Amino acid sequence: MKKVLYIIAHNLRVLRSDRSAFFWLLAMPLVFTFVLGIMIRDGGGGSGEPPRYALTVANLDEGEHGAALLEAIEEADEIDLLVVEGPDAGAEAEALVEDGDRSAALVIPADFSALLEAGEGAALTFHRNPERMNPLVTRQAVEKIVSRLNVSALAGAGVLEGYEHLWGAVPEERAPELTARADRFVEEASETPPLTVRVETLGRGPEEDAPAMGFSHSSPAMALMYVLLNGLMASVFLVTERRERTLMRLFTTPVRRSTIIVANLGWRFVVGMIQIWFLIGFGALVFRVDWGDSPVGLLAVTVTYVAAVAGLSVLIGSVARTSRQAESLSLVLALTMCALGGLWWPLEITPRAYQRVGHMIPTGWAMDAMHNLISRGYTLAGVAPQALVLAGFAAAFTVAAVLTFRHE
Amino acid sequence: MRGDAIIDAERLTKRYGEIVAVDSVSFEVPEGEIFGLLGPNGAGKTTTIGILSCLVTPTAGSARICGIDVTKDSLGVRSKIGVVPQEIALYPTLSARDNLVFWGRMYGVPDHALKQRIEEILETVELSDRADSRIDTFSGGMKRRVNIAAGLLHRPSVLFLDEPTVGIDPQTRRSILELVVELNDHGLTVLYTTHYLEEAEFLCNRIGIMDEGKMLAIGTKEELTATIGATGVIAVSADGMDESIVGWLRSLDAVADAALVESELTINVIAGPNLLPALVEKLTSSGAAVHSVDVTVPNLESVFLHLTGKSLRDRDGSPAEGEPVGKKT
Ligand SMILES: Nc1ncnc2c1ncn2[C@@H]1O[C@H](COP(=O)(O)OP(=O)(O)OP(=O)(O)O)[C@@H](O)[C@H]1O
Ligand SMILES: [Mg+2]
C-alpha cells in the first residue's frame, strides 16, 4: 500500500527535522558500548586482573592423578581455590555448596587414580548452587583444566605406546623422561586448548584479545538497549500526534485505520532496523566484534526484536494519556527490561530466579540469541527458538496496540 | 431537495454517557451553499462535524455526504470532504510545502498533479513566499491559512470549517472570511461553524442555530429574524444592573425577550409604545450607571436570545462590538 510508505517516509522526515534525534539514536549507544565494554573487559573491577571464581575442592584420592588435577586447578589464574581435607571432605564440600556458603565444589573420588591407572574413565562430581552467581563459569574453568589433562594423558600414553612399538618395553629409568617429553609436547599443543572458546563467551578471553571480549558483550547489549529505549520513547510521537490533532485529521482523510496503524508500526520498525544495523556495523568495524557466522540468524533476531519494540511503542503511545506518561512509562519499562534481560550484566552469572524473570521479557531472549550467535557460533537454527519467542512478543504487542489505538 | 443536497443529516444523535452532545439534529445543505452552524461553546458543532466526517459514530440517526452514507462508506465520504479542524493540525517542524505534500498524498492526490495544486493553493492563501519555512515560524494567522489549505488539495465537494477564526486578529480574520467567500464563488459547498454571529451573518446563505446539542432553528438571516416577532433590539451597556431589571422587562407587553450578561443588557422589542423613556427611568432610579444605549434592527443575537433566553455573546472571545467583518461581494 502506497500510503503506508508515504506515512513512513513522512515520519522519518519529521524525525530528521529533530536535530537531537541523531545524537540519541546513534551517538549515545556508541559511547555506552565503549564505556561498558572497557568496564567489563577488566571484569568490572578495573584492576587489570582477570576475575576469579570461587571453587571448593575435596580430594578424596590419595594417588598421583588426584594430586596432579588439584595442582592444575591451583595453577589456574581464574580460580579462587578452597581445599577441604579429611575423611569427610566430600560431605563437607557438598554442605558448603548446599548452604550457599560456596557457589561450587569439585569432588575428586577416592578411586580416581586407581580408575585412571586401570585405563578406565573416572568421573568427577561438580556440585553447584544455582542460586549463587558464577557456577557456570567455574564449571567451564574446571572443564578446561580437565580437558587439558585428558589430552595430556592421552598424548603421554601415546608416546609410551609408540616407544614400545619400536623398541619393546619401556625401561624403568626412561619412563619419566618420555612422559615429561610428552607433557611438554602437550603443553605446547594446548597453548590453544579447544575449550577456551566456551570460556571466552563469558567475556574473559585470552590476554592478547582482551578488549574485544568486553565489546562482544557490550556491543550487542547496548545495541539492544538503545533500540529498546529509543523505540519505546518514540511512543511520545503518537501522543503528540493526538494532542496536536494531526492524527485526528489523518482519520478524516481517505486512509484506512489499518494503514495508519501499520505505518505507525512501520516507521518505528524502519528506524529501529537502521539503528541496530548501524550499531552492529560499528561494533564490527570499530570495536572488532565478531557477530558470528550467521548473518541470517542475526537478521532473524534483529527483525523480531525490533518488531516487538515497535509493537510495544505503539501500545504505550495508545495507552498513555500525556507525553509525560508515555515518557516515564517508556523509561521505566526500558530500563527494567535492560536490567532483567541481562543487558547490563550477563544473565548467565545471575541466580536462577533472575534468569527466569529475564525470560519473561523480550530482552532476555534477544540477549540469549546474541550470545548464541557471537560467542557460541550458533547458526539460524540455534537462534530460531529465541527468534520465535520474540516474534510472539511482537505479535502480542501488536494485537494489543491495534486494540487500543485511537485518534483522540 | 433530498436528491441534490450535498449534506443530508437526519436526526443525528451522539451521547457520551449522560451527556447528549448532539440531540436529534437534522439539516440539509444544497450544493454551492455556505451553511453556518452557530452556537456557543459545547453546543455540539464539532461533534456534528465529527459525525459528518466519519470521526464520530452517531448513537442514532444517519447522514449522507454526496449521497454516501457516513456510517457505511467512510472512505468514500472522506474522499469527498475537506476537513479543517478547529485546532492547527499540522506538523510544526516541517515546512508549509512538506505539510501540504503529506496531506495531499493522504487525500490521494496523484503525485504528478500535487506540485501544481500546492503552488495554486499557496497562491490562494497568499503564502507562496513562505512555502519553505517551517510551520513553527509562522504567525497564528498564517498557520490558520495553511490549516485551511491542507483541506483543499484534493478539490473536495464540500469543506468543513470548524471555527477557523478563533483567536486571531481582525485583519487575518477578514482575510480568512474573504478566502471562504472566494472558494464558495468557485462552487465549493461550505459547512462553517462559529460562535461569532457577525461571521454567520456575513458569510452564510443559511444558518442553523444550535444550543446544548439541539438544532433550534434553520433559515436565512431574514427568515430567522422574522420568526421572533420583534421589530427592534435595544442594547444597553451599564454598570450596576441586576436580574431584577430582566424580570421587570419580561413582564412588559412590549418586550419579547431580555437577557443580561455582565454589564450588557439585550432586549428584543415588539412594535408598540416606545419603551426607551420607561427603561432609562427604571435604570437610573435603580442606580445603574448607563454608558450607552443602542437601538438596532433584530439580528441573530436577538434570535438566539429569543430561542434560548440566553445571550450568545460569551464573556470573551467575541469580536469587538461594531467590528466590521468584511464586505460581502
Ligand atoms: N469525546 C467526548 N467525550 C465526552 N464528551 C464529549 C466528547 N466530545 C464532546 N463532548 C461533549 O459534547 C458537548 C458538545 O461538544 P462539541 O465539542 O461538539 O461542542 P462545540 O459546539 O464544538 O463547542 P466549542 O465551541 O467549544 O468548540 C460538550 O458538552 C462536550 O463536553
Ligand atoms: Mg468545537
**DSSP assignment letter at B151:** T
The pLDDT value recorded for residue A151 is 60
B5-224: in CATH 1.10.1370.30? no
Global pTM reads 0.74
**pLDDT at residue B180 tops 80:** yes
What is the Cα–Cα distance from B63 to B52, expressed in whole angstroms? 7
What average pLDDT does range A51-75 have in this prediction? Answer: 80
What would the grid cell of residue B149 be? 489549505
User: What does the block give as the cell for B237?
Assistant: 451597556
C-alpha cell at A291: 557477530
d(Cα A110, Cα A52) in Å, to the nearest integer?
28
A10 touches chain B (CB under 8 A): yes
Quick one: cell of A31?
559511547
pLDDT of residue A132: 54
- CA-atom Rg of chain B in angstroms: 22
DSSP 8-state secondary structure symbol assigned to residue A48? S
CB distance A249–B107 less than 8 Å? no
pLDDT of residue A154: 58
d(CA A228, nearest CA chain B) in Å = 25
Distance CA B39, CA B150 (A): 25
Nearest CA in chain B to A407: B55
Q: How far is the CA of B44 from the centre of ligand 2 (A)?
A: 7
Output the pLDDT for position A52.
64
Taking the CA of residue B17 as reference, the ligand 1 atom at the shortest distance is 4
Q: What is the pLDDT of residues A10-52, one digit of tens each?
A: 999 999 888 787 777 888 888 888 888 777 764 433 344 455 6
Q: Cβ(B254) to ligand 1 under 6 A? A: no
Residue nearest to atom 31 of ligand 1 (CA): B42
Q: Look at the block and give the residue holding cell 602437550.
A: A186
Ligand 1 atom with least separation from CA of B48: 18
List Cβ neighbours of A320 (8 Å cut-off, separation of 6 or more): A235, A239, A326, A329
Query: Of the residues B12, B14, B16, B55, which should be mutated to test ligand 1's pocket, given the most ligand atoms within 8 Å of the CB?
Result: B16
Q: A14 to chain B: which residues are within 8 Å by CB?
A: 91, 93-94
Distance CA A5, CA A374 (A): 34
**Residue B1, all three cell numbers:** 431537495
| B42 within ligand 1 shell (Cβ under 6 A) | yes
State the pLDDT confidence band at A131, using cuts at 50, 70 and 90: low
Choose among A13, A251, A255: nearest Cβ to B98: A13
- Give pLDDT, residue B317: 43
Q: Of all residues in chain B, what percent carry a pLDDT higher than 90?
A: 59
Q: Give the list of residues 6+ apart from residue B168 with CB closer than 8 angstroms, or none.
A: B140, B141, B144, B176
Q: How far apart are CA B237 and CA B297, in angstroms?
A: 17
The C-alpha atoms of residue B36 and residue A130 are separated, in whole angstroms, by 75
Q: Whose CA is nearest to atom 18 of ligand 1?
A: B44
Interface residue B75 vs chain A (CB under 8 A):
yes
- Nearest to A41, CA basis, from A259, A282, A216, A296: A216
Place of cell 576469579: A52
The least confident of A22-31, A96-105, A143-152, A335-344 is A143-152
ipTM of the complex: 0.84
* B248 vs A: CB within 8 A: no
**What contacts B234, CB < 8 A, 6 or more positions away?**
B265, B266, B267, B269, B275, B276, B279, B293, B294, B295
pLDDT of the residue at A233: 95
Helix (H), strand (E) at residue B214: strand B214-219
Strands B189-194 and B158-162: parallel
Task: Report the residue count for chain B.
Answer: 329
Residues 227 to 256 of A: which have CB under 8 A from any B CB?
244-246, 248-256
Rounded CA separation B158/B66 (Å)? 9
How many angstroms is it from A256 CA to the middle of ligand 1?
25
Stretch(es) of chain B classified as CATH 3.30.70.100:
229-297
**Quick one: angle between helices A380-404 and A362-374, nearest 10?**
160
The hierarchical CATH code for the domain B229-297 is 3.30.70.100
Q: Confidence class of residue A184 from pLDDT cuts 50, 70 and 90?
A: low
> What's A25's DSSP letter?
I
Type of residue numbered B194: T
- Report which bound ligand comes closest to the CA of B39: 1
Ligand 1 contact via B194 beta carbon (within 6 Å): no
What is the C-alpha separation between B215 and B205, in angstroms, rounded? 17
Q: How does the average pLDDT of chain B come out, rounded? A: 89
Closest atom of ligand 1 to B45 CA is 21
CA of residue B236 relative to chain centroid, distance: 25
Q: How far is B75 from chain A (nearest CA, A)?
A: 5
- Domains within chain A, CATH numbers bracketed: 2-43+213-404 (no CATH), 54-191 (3.40.1710)
Confidence of residue A322 (pLDDT cuts 50, 70, 90): very high
Nearest residue (by CA) to ligand 1, atom 4, is B16
Interface of B with A in 52-71 (CB under 8 A): 53-55
Which band of pLDDT confidence, cut at 50, 70 and 90, is reported for residue A167? low
The mean per-residue pLDDT over the stretch B15-38 comes to 96
DSSP state of A44: T
pLDDT at A218 over 90: no
Q: Quick one: which atom of ligand 1 is closest to the CA of B210?
A: 21
Kindly state the cell numbers that stand for A239: 501522543
Q: Is B134 on the interface with A (CB under 8 A)?
A: yes
Around Cβ B190, how many Cβ atoms within 10 Å? 23
Structure-model confidence comparison of residues A145 and B90, the more confident one: B90
Mutate to test the pocket of ligand 1, among B25, B47, B53 (most ligand atoms within 8 A of CB): B47
At A250 the pLDDT is 97
Q: What is the largest CA-CA distance in chain B?
A: 74
Q: How many Å apart are CA A40 and CA A133, to the nearest integer?
A: 16
For the ranges A212-221, A379-388, B48-57, which has the lowest average pLDDT? A212-221
CA distance A17 to B114: 22
- Are B93 and A10 within 8 A, CB to CB? no
Report whether residue B18 contacts ligand 1, using a CB cutoff of 6 Å.
no
Query: Which of B45, B193, B195, B315 has most ligand 1 atoms within 8 Å of CB, for mutation?
Result: B45
Task: Name the DSSP letter for residue B142.
Answer: H
pLDDT of A193 above 60? no
Output the average pLDDT for chain A.
80
Mean pLDDT, to the nearest integer, of A342-358? 84
Which part of chain B is CATH 3.40.50.300?
5-224
The 10s digit of each residue's pLDDT in B210-236 is 999 999 999 999 899 888 777 888 889
At A230-247, the pLDDT tens digits run 999 999 999 999 999 999
Q: Tell me if B186 sits within 8 A of B159, measured CB to CB.
A: no
Smallest CA–CA distance, residue B159 to chain A, in Å, is 12
Atom of ligand 1 nearest to the CA of B50: 18
pLDDT at A340: 94
- CA of B7 from ligand 1 middle (Å) equals 21
Q: Which residues of A touch B55 (CB under 8 A)?
A: 248, 251-252, 407-408
User: Which H/E stretch holds residue A111?
Assistant: none
CA distance A241 to A249: 10
CB of B110 within 8 Å of any CB in chain A? no
